[in-house]
Amino acid sequence: DQLDWPVMLQNMASSFLLSRRSEAHRGVAVLYLTALTSLALAGHDEQTARLAEALKAADRELAAQGIRKEDVISSVEVVGPDGMVQQVFFPVPDLVRDFWDYPKVQALK
């Protein structure tokens, strides 16, 4: 059976919207984003191409609502034990979110 990724996208978007209120929702958003990104990268067929486009559209919709994915979730790329590059997502901690916009931090960027 197949995963219902349109529902997963909707749940991910809801988690991003609720992430302003609690760190738990940021964690849920990370899980959805990780699963959906993995699905989009797993295959090279028409369905995974549609999922990749849907993920981009979800980013645009969230941005239209004033939510940037990068403010909630960050990622790093690591080389896995099989030698393949993998993307690991994690919630942006409150401390980072609270101090990231300070002028000194911006100057260091």
pLDDT in tens, 59-87: 999 999 988 888 888 889 999 889 888 88
Number of structural domains the chain divides into:
1
Question: How far out from the chain centre does Cα 36 lie?
Answer: 9
Q: Taking the model in full, what pTM does it have? A: 0.72
β-sheet bridge partners, residue 90: 74
Task: Express each pLDDT in 8-47 by its tens digit.
Answer: 999 999 999 898 888 888 899 999 998 898 888 877 788 8
| Domain boundaries, position 68 | 5-108
Please report the sign of the dihedral spanned by the C-alpha atoms of residue 80, residue 86, residue 91, residue 92: positive
